[in-house]
Amino acid sequence: MTVWRITGGEGGPGGPRPERTAPRYDVVELDTPLLRIEGAADAPWLRMSGEVDVSNADDLKRALRAARARVEGDLHVDLTGVDFIDVAGLRVFTAEARDLAGRGGLLVLHSVSAHIDKLVRLIGWDAVPGLELHCRVRP
């Protein structure tokens, strides 16, 4: 399911459209041999690469909260570079999604791998309030 959420700005039918620019990842939240998390100081985006497991789930939680502290509203996480995530990592995502939902926001996971998509759906966490799997599942 694709979810489009338009917040603020102009861009209605016939109106000027805001220019789309890719986020500039200029904040390194975490850089370890297992996981790298980069943030955008002026946009609600995180980009992750590596593996998320019980050993770095607390680091993931800190990175998500730091990003939420910088920018209000929805939080977007690009998982293109994530090769593996276990249930401990997914629990962090679901807890943050529930918290964001309580504040009227969403946690949007982009470029979800088939492994992550399958795991989320098997556990039933695709129905967690505030959690959206966005974009096409990558192989």
Here the CATH number for the domain that contains residue 73 is 3.30.750.24
Residue 25 domain-assigned (yes or no): no
The candidate with the shortest Cα–Cα distance to 139, out of 117, 121, 106, 108, is: 117
The count of domains in the chain is: 1
Q: What is the pLDDT of residue 134?
A: 79
Task: Note whether residue 18 is domain-resident.
Answer: no
**Residue type for 21, please?**
T
Q: What are phi and psi of 86, to 5 degrees?
A: -105, -175
pLDDT of res. 8: 46
Task: Measure CA 26 to chain center.
Answer: 17
Q: pLDDT, tens digit, for every residue of 74-90? A: 999 999 999 899 999 99
- Please report, rounded to a whole number, the percentage of residues in the chain having pLDDT higher than 90: 64
Whether the pLDDT of residue 104 is over 50: the answer is yes
Answer whether residue 124 is part of any domain. yes
Domain region containing 44: 38-135
- The answer to the question of residue 22 being in a domain is no
Cβ burial of 21 (10 Å; 0-12, 13-18, 19+) is exposed
Q: Looking at the domain assignment, is residue 4 inside a domain?
A: no
Q: Which residues contact 67 (CB under 8 A, 6 or more apart)?
A: 29, 39, 44, 45, 46, 75
Residue 2 is assigned to a structural domain of this protein: no
Average the pLDDT over 113-128 and give the result: 90
Q: Is 79 exposed, middle or buried (0-12, 13-18, 19+ CB in 10 A)?
A: buried
Residue 67 lies in a domain: yes
